[in-house]
Amino acid sequence: MNHPDIADLSNGALATLRILTVENERGEFEPTHAVLRMAVGGNTTVDNFHAGGVAAKVDLLSGELGRATDIGLRPDRGWCASHPDTHARIEGRRLPFWRETLDLTSRAHAAFSDRVLIGWDVAILKDGPVLVEGNAGADVDIV
């Protein structure tokens, strides 16, 4: 279940972050991009674009959300400052447990140090961030 601070950014599905981490020039693992994916419409199972969802860019320093998009899959939707179903404000909202979320993905990448780039799916729950999965095919088009 989504953290209470972001529960209204969902139509019932678990909202997840896609966070890209890379191995930097010092051999450390760091996040470079992040989006929050949110389910929209009748699909209350998954939050991805291919199921009609939207994603909002996340500022890496602050955890603040930008406007959401479906990357043009529904041109009539455009950029969303609020969730299309719940009408809860997206733009300008700060994610809970943001530092902990970034730390989690960096530590997780270190466990797979043979990979240069990983796309992590992370849910922010009431008790903090939880890894859902790591993706070798990171879907960089999301960012």
For 8-51, write each residue's pLDDT tens digit.
999 889 999 999 999 999 999 999 999 999 999 887 777 777 77
Cα separation, 141 vs 143, whole angstroms: 5
Entry pTM: 0.93
Is pLDDT at 53 greater than 90 in this prediction? Answer: no
Q: Which two tokens stand for residue 71?
A: 């990357």
* pLDDT band of 141, cuts 50, 70, 90: low
| pLDDT tens for each residue of 55-92 | 999 999 999 999 999 876 777 888 999 999 999 999 99
Enclosing H/E stretch for 106: helix 98-110
**CA dihedral over 108, 110, 113, 118, signed as positive or negative:** positive
Mean pLDDT of 103-108: 98
CB burial string 23-43: b at 16+ within 10 A, e below: beeeeebebebbbbbbbbeee
Contact 98, 127 (CB under 8 A): no
Radius of gyration of the chain (CA): 14
Is pLDDT at 140 greater than 80 in this prediction? Answer: no
Mean pLDDT of 122-134: 97
pLDDT for position 136 = 87
Q: Which two tokens stand for residue 4?
A: 């209470």
Is pLDDT at 143 greater than 70 in this prediction? Answer: no
pLDDT for position 74 = 75
What is the identity of the amino acid at 77?
A: R
Cβ neighbours for 114, distance < 8 A, ≥ 6 positions apart: none
Mean pLDDT of 114-138: 94
